[in-house]
Structure 1
Amino acid sequence: MGGDAYEEIRALKARYFRAIDTQDWALLRTLFTDDAVTDFRDSVSPRDEALLIRGADGFVASVSGALARARSAHHGHNPEITLTGSDTAEGIWAMDDYIWAGPACALPFGTLHGFGHYHELYVRQDGRWLIAETRLTRIRVETH
């Protein structure tokens, strides 16, 4: 795989984590294709069909609403990135996240520490790598 593409995709995912943790929703929106598919159905138990969202605007609205009055810290590790074409790639990232629900937060827990994987498809549009699909699966969730 081309080194530039690999580094650009790593930077894209780093911006994703930073945008969520700083609640920079405008930045988050710029990281996705307009028709992005975000699938977080298997990131909760029981599976929640409402967490399959088609369209970047819907995803940003959903995550910004869910994290209102909360704080988070996301970490991505050990990326496995494969270039599948001149302008396409796929990746798997090990991840862990912490979410602290604040007063009057709608989340059903006080704190969450999750472990899992992001499975993603990327496309390069107008010279920029973007997330076209992302799916989060969890292998463990600890809540208090």
Structure 2
Amino acid sequence: MQAAETLAILAAGSFFLVGLLTGVWKYQQIHTRESAEAHPYVNIAHRTALLYAFACLLLAKFAQLSVLSETVNTIAVAVQIVFFAAAVLSYVLHGWLADTDNQLRKPHRLGKGALPGGLMVAFMWALIAGEIGGFLVLFYGVILGL
């Protein structure tokens, strides 16, 4: 198994575990809150972590089928996983702080403070480029091998 596959499999397991743990957190909030609802970002963290777990299995398969070098495949997988993890971490943080129900609404809240608007825009464009670009690299490697 090449490094890219191993990384993707380990990430899948990690995201699945985070999904299960945030599911407990979600249930705890539903059970103890008068509204019987979890904070929106607790819900988002739970669902996203579970979805990224399965996305990482897809990345593992694409890395396995790609005819590109192990280094290229590993970088492509790693970039996507880093952005997946950053997204889940931001959702967990907003759920923990209960500071917003929309992290993209201006001003961009973080706890009692606010982030510079340009920082959020730059991060979102980097995330878009990293996730789509990383997948396009793997997909290209698979297409070459067909």
Task: Identify whether the pair has TM-score above 0.5, normalized to the shorter chain.
Answer: no
Structure having the higher helix fraction is 2
Structure having the higher strand fraction is 1
TM-score if structure 1 supplies the norm length?
A: 0.29
Of the two, which has the highest radius of gyration? Answer: 2
Higher relative contact order (CA 8 A, sep 6+): 2
